[in-house]
Amino acid sequence: MGTFKHILWRVLNIVPVLLVVSVLTFLVGRLTPGDPIEAQFARDHTPEQVEVIRASYGLTLPLWQQYAKWVKDLFTAGGGLSIAQGQPVFDILLPNFANTLILTAAGVVICAVLGVVIGVIAGINHRRFPDRFAMLFVQTGSNLSVYWFGLVLIWIFSLWLGWLPVAGMESRNGGGFGDLLAHLVLPGLSAALISTLVLARFVRLGIVQESHSDYVRTFASQGVPRRRLVGKHIGRNILPAVVNIIGLEIGTLITGVIFVESVFNWPGIGTQLVNAVNGKDYPLIQGGVILVALCYLVVNLLTDVTVDALNPRLRR
Amino acid sequence: MISAQRGRPAVIGIVALLGALVLAACGGANGGTAAGASQGSGTPKAGGTLVSGLYLEPLALDPHRQGYWETYRVSSNIFEGLVKEDLSDPEGPTKLLPALATDWKASDDGTTWTFTLRSGVKFHDGTDFTAESVHKNVRRVTDPTYEFYDKTGAPRLATWFRDFVKGRVVDDHTYEFRFSKPFLGFPRILAQSMSTLTIGNPATWEKYGNDGFADHPSGTGPYTFVSRTVGDRIVLKRNPGYWGPKPLLDELVFRVIPNNQTRLATLLSGEADIISYVQPEDVSTLESRGFQVPEGHGAALLYFTFNYKNKAFQDKRVRQAVIQGIDRGKLAKEVYNGHAVPLGSLLPPGNEAYDPAARDFDYDPEAAKALLKEAGYGEGALSFTIVADVANQNLAEWLQSQLKGIGVNVKVVTLDRPSYVARAFGKPEPDDGLSIDEYGGSYAEWLYQVYYTNIVVKGLDPADFPEITEALDKARYTADQDKRLELWKEADKKVREGAIAIPAVSLTRYYALGPNVRGFVYAATNWYDLTKVGLAG
């Protein structure tokens, strides 16, 4: 019952945070120079014409009225109409957001699998060749720009070897799950790059540290096999921390995904937000930020709940 | 992202080396893959899908709300105007051809235009195109009493419909536009992409409302709308009931690929058949691999405008000195590596009133210094800020070093697009001097448009230049068809003599096409015709 109450409390906490986020994104857009109408029309319309167009979008109303209308639109009108594309904001953002989640999910899987594998290999071979080699790889990788890494992957695997597609989610006559997977490989790898290496380092360190702890020495002296020791005891002890790191890395992944989306032309929310900011498309920017913020909050919540469940010491 | 500064030099060295090897290997292996492809010869076959890579997300697919040429490259396949430009002409200025109207005639006083409409044309939903459909389009953007008056679309057309009085259905296939003043440039304006009366299907806005139109775009064009996923693609399919010659391709897919390198890679890998906004530095690579790279100028130019709110520029001598202090031939070479043509007039190549001999003030740094001195600015006494979009940073810095040559100190401020527009067009700082823009069109009225929306708006008081106002009005409102272009050239001369703005260069733009694409023409305007394009077998 206590756990349930705790989760409910956390869920309720999301509401005021979203409220603050909504006010901030609204104000940041309005109080910085430039507006979407001027940006699009000033070049070939007189200031009077620009003003009429601005009024037709309700952008000449007092700020609080604009805010109130937007909040109402969030619940009733799909987040309002995008100024540039003239379609409801959530009609534009939700499919893109789903695509970003697909890419992020692929990134998380790659990050979790590769990160743990590299970390474990390095950790159990501490200061031996596999460890040195893995750490060179990690060190090198951490210094790559994701953007550059993505382009190199395209050159090698798409243009040179011709194995994988360059851009988007769908081939010319494509469709289907296999086609999607083929399109996911390179962006997934690029998106996961940095997080994988962070995680690998973390797992390695965890194993090294735990290996020196008293209980491991005791078990080892009693003849518990090494495999069992790493898998069951050390693993169990560092697992909550690993989940925590992965949870945090999802945040990094979503941010990093914006670059990856640009390089691989993945039709995700990052590209949309960059477009929206470039044109100062208020409803689109605001809707997008709310979605991303909501996503962060939910991921954080899920991470906390999972960590609680995995770590008996945090249960009360 | 983790920045390189944090890395150890040795590691960076290894990475750089590996990268160089990989790139070298790729380049080498790729050199021959497309070799042997023919350079656009052979006849295209009917059928197939053409994938086009766009560099920008198109705006709303609504004939009265659209903006950006990239939008029109898509929407011109869905919507048509009464008149169109001849897009098979790479030289220009483009001729006007009948589209939804077969004939048009002005009254003797030039105020009334009568259009004979094409019979047997149907909208994509099967409804007939008649004079009544034209009337509803006209009312949507001019008549506040119309149930479907579009208050966000109407002001966009105000520049050309300001003197519009009334539209009239004469009979089923005749429609009449009446203006309060002569408007002989009207047919060419009707053939433009933006801020004009392109014909949409009234049944669609009657059904979905004005805001719902962009979700269900419908017109009379050669292709019909299938689907749009913002951020990904727009799909169109051939309109089986099209009135004109049957287009070759079954399907057009427009993919939005803003990243220049990625867009290039999709063409190289065969995922796209045509891409727009090709970077000049990629042209030779593409050509050596068998890709076609048509080039053109698209009736547009890059120009610099003065901030007239800055007192210094109210003096003609100062403006002229700045013009004479800039070597535009060198600009084309040094900033654009020769992928640009220097200009001396705001009327660019491709414009119907373009005159290759038109020059304002040639580069003459000594004369410029003398003029500045005469105006009271000795060496180093004049300083101002150039405000530019970040995309034009190189150009702004080049201008800075160039103007140093005539003893002018320039500060460069670069801003993101919305902030740039807000400052250049809205609220300039007192020290601002020049701003940089690119635009243009094939219509002579462009001069009028650029004067009022780019120059007057920056603080120029038209009352100070009565000879320009008079010449522009004379050209815009002439009732003499034979004299019209001459009058525009005269107005341009007045603008040039006044050192009102600085026309700079016309940039060479490139499309790139896959080796099997046939029938593509880079017309002397900013969009293309895909109905004659096909894929070789």
Say how far apart CA A171 and CA B231 lie, in whole Å.
16
pLDDT-based confidence at residue A316 (cuts at 50, 70, 90):
low
How many alpha carbons fall within 13 Å on the CB side of residue A109? Answer: 9
**Residue type, position B253, single letter:** V
Q: Could you tell me the pLDDT band of residue A314, with boundaries at 50, 70 and 90? A: low
Beta strands in B67-163 (DSSP E): 83-85, 96-98, 101-106, 112-117
Q: Mean pLDDT highest for which of A240-249, A261-270, B483-492?
A: B483-492
pLDDT at A277: 85
Confidence class for position A174, pLDDT limits 50, 70, 90? confident
Q: Distance (Å) from the C-alpha of residue A109 to the closest C-alpha of chain B?
A: 20
> Running DSSP on this structure, what letter comes out for residue B382?
E
pLDDT score recorded for residue B24? 39
Encoded amino acid at A237, one letter: N
Say if the Cβ atoms of B453 and A42 lie within 8 Å.
yes
Could A52 and B155 be called an inter-chain contact, meaning their C-beta atoms sit closer than 8 Å?
A: yes
* pLDDT tens by residue, A15-73: 899 999 999 999 988 888 888 888 888 888 888 888 888 888 888 899 999 999 999 99
Residue A35: which of B214, B418, B449 has the nearest Cβ? Answer: B418
Asked if A265 and B29 come within 8 Å (Cβ–Cβ), the reply is: no
Cβ-defined contact of B12 to A32 (cutoff 8 Å):
no
The sign of the torsion formed by the CA atoms of B175, B178, B184, B190 equals negative
Give φ, ψ of B369 to 5 degrees. -60, -40
On average, the pLDDT of chain A sits at 86
Q: Which of A39, A158, A167 sits opposite B418 (nearest CB)?
A: A39
Please list the pLDDT of chain B residue by residue as tens digits (537 residues): 333 333 333 333 444 444 444 443 333 333 333 333 334 556 778 889 999 999 988 989 999 988 888 899 999 999 999 999 999 888 878 899 999 999 999 999 999 999 999 999 999 999 999 999 999 999 999 999 999 999 888 988 888 998 999 999 999 999 999 999 999 999 999 999 888 999 999 999 999 999 999 999 999 999 999 999 988 999 999 999 999 999 999 999 999 998 899 999 999 999 999 999 999 889 999 999 999 999 998 889 999 999 999 999 999 999 999 999 999 999 999 999 899 999 999 999 999 999 999 999 999 999 999 999 999 999 899 999 999 998 899 999 999 999 999 999 999 999 988 889 889 988 899 999 999 999 999 999 999 999 999 999 999 999 999 999 999 999 999 999 999 999 999 999 999 999 999 999 999 999 999 999 999 999 888 889 999 999 987
Q: Which residue has the higher pLDDT, A237 or B112?
A: B112
Distance CA A68, CA B84 (A): 45
Using CA coordinates, name the residue in chain A closest to B3.
A143
CA distance A125 to chain B (A): 23
Contact residues on chain B for A271, CB-CB shorter than 8 A:
231, 258
Cβ-based contacts of B49 with chain A (< 8 Å):
172
Residue B1's pLDDT is what? Answer: 34
A285-294, A307-316, B40-49: range with lowest mean pLDDT: A307-316
Mutate to test the interface with B, among A51, A91, A157, A166 (most CBs of B within 10 A): A166
Nearest one of B274, B289, B294 to B514, comparing CA atoms: B274
Reported as type and span, the H/E element at residue B306 is strand B301-306
Q: What is the pLDDT of residue B368?
A: 95
What chain B residue is nearest to A97 in terms of C-alpha separation? B231
Out of A42, A86, A165, the one facing B62 most closely (by C-beta) is: A86
**Average pLDDT for A123-137:** 86
- Non-local (6+) Cβ contacts of B10 within 8 A are none
Residue B425: is it exposed, middle or buried by C-beta count within 10 angstroms (0-12/13-18/19+)?
A: buried
Pairing between β-strand B101-106 and β-strand B112-117 as defined by DSSP bridges: antiparallel
CB pairs under 8 A between A and B: 208
Q: Hey, which bits of B36-88 come out as E strands?
A: 49-54, 83-85
CB A258 within 8 A of CB A191: no
Q: What are φ and ψ of residue B370, in 5° steps?
A: -60, -45
- Residue A95 and residue B229: Cβ atoms within 8 Å? yes
pLDDT of A155 higher than 90? yes
Q: Is A207 helix (H, G, I), strand (E, B) or coil?
A: helix
Interface test mutation site (partner B, options A89, A145, A265, A284, max chain B beta carbons within 10 A): A265
The minimal CB distance from B4 to the residues A143, A158, A278 is found for: A143
- CB < 8 Å to B26, chain A: 155-156, 159-160
Instruction: Tell if the CB–CB gap between B195 and A44 is shorter than 8 Å.
Output: yes
How far apart are the C-alpha atoms of B424 and B180, rounded to whole Å? 33
Going by C-alpha positions, the residue among B124, B38, B119, B32 that lies closest to residue B77 is B124
Residue owning tokens 């902030």:
B419
Distance separating the N- and C-terminal Cα atoms of chain A: 11
The 10s digit of each residue's pLDDT in B225-247 is: 999 998 899 999 999 999 999 99
Going by C-alpha positions, the residue among A88, A122, A268 that lies closest to residue A190 is A268
Q: What is the pLDDT confidence band of residue A315, given thresholds at 50, 70 and 90? A: low
Q: How much is the pLDDT for B41?
A: 58
Distances (CA, A) of B73 to A86, A115, A167, B192, B204: 18, 46, 21, 12, 22
Instruction: Give the per-residue pLDDT at B465.
Output: 95
pLDDT bracket for residue A77 (50, 70, 90): confident
Task: Tell me how far CA of residue B223 lies from CA of A265, B236, B243, B253, B527, in angstroms.
Answer: 26, 6, 11, 11, 16
Q: Which residues of B touch A275 (CB under 8 A)?
A: 57, 231, 258
Kind of pairing, strands B432-439 and B382-389?
parallel
